[in-house]
Chain A
């Protein structure tokens, strides 16, 4: 885990993880440690952990759908000011097709798309960007504090 800044008004922590489902528990542990360190309200922490884990899961499931044995790594950066939390994800997988990133119609009984719905419910904004090299995708989630 690396600290990019350490004053009380602009905190940032970043860590990278192997892209596979076994890493998701490590992503959650990292997130919980950072939220404790950043003194995020306790009742908000587990919701944020869920949103982060769902976004990381989407990288494993979708950006690396055809590469289950990849040795690539993804990075998660959590930054915090007094007013806002920003969570960024970086990966080198298949470029995200923004038009396909949505939760499904409500009358479809399959649970697919639920993770994206959770992220939308918990966070205030979701932005997909092209990643700066070497990254391909950069997802940015924000939440007002």
Chain B
């Protein structure tokens, strides 16, 4: 997985790339969680994520919960079609 982070005042935008599965999920947590813990508002850009499974959804849910605890927020910005399909299925469940 590749990623880059841009900063604009208190907003960190994380651009993720590739496929997010169980093997990669901890790497994604290591990118996102420190930003949340630092009190940043985190925007996730998933337009270049070609595959995401339940482990990736878990990272999004955990990030959202963690952000609430830190009085900040995580927002999804651009989302690829494959990820949108998985999110739509997950919304029936979550």
Q: Is chain B a partner of chain A in the same complex?
A: yes
Cα separation A4 to B59 with both chains bound (whole Å): 39
B-contacting residues, A46-74, CB 8 Å: 46-47, 49-50, 53-54, 57, 60-61
Binds B, one of A7-15, A21-29, A87-95: A21-29
Closest B residue to A47 using CB positions: B85
Partner-B contacts on A (CB < 8 A): 21-22, 24-25, 28, 46-47, 49-50, 53-54, 57, 60-61, 103, 106, 109-112, 114-115, 117-118, 121
Cβ 8 A contact of B93, one of A22, A57, A61, A117: A117
Specify which chain A residues have a CB less than 8 angstroms from the CB of B65 in the assembled complex. Answer: 109
Contact with A along B60-83 (1 / 0, CB 8 A): 011001000000000000000010
Closest B residue to A121 using CB positions: B89
Cβ 8 A contact of A115, one of B53, B85, B92, B94: B53
Q: Which of B19, B53, B61, B86 has the most CB of A within 10 A?
A: B53
Closest A residue to B81 using CB positions: A46
Specify which chain B residues have a CB less than 8 angstroms from the CB of A57 in the assembled complex. Answer: 21-22, 53-55
27 A/B residue pairs, CB under 8 Å, sorted by A: A24-B21, A28-B51, A46-B82, A46-B85, A47-B85, A50-B51, A50-B86, A53-B21, A54-B53, A54-B54, A57-B55, A60-B22, A106-B93, A109-B94, A111-B54, A111-B58, A111-B90, A111-B94, A114-B57, A114-B58, A114-B90, A115-B54, A118-B53, A118-B54, A118-B89, A121-B89, A121-B92
Contact A25 B22 (CB under 8 A): no
Minimal beta-carbon separation of B65 from chain A (angstroms): 8
B23 sits at the interface (CB 8 A): yes
Specify which chain B residues have a CB less than 8 angstroms from the CB of A24 in the assembled complex. Answer: 21-23
Specify which chain A residues have a CB less than 8 angstroms from the CB of B61 in the assembled complex. Answer: 109-111
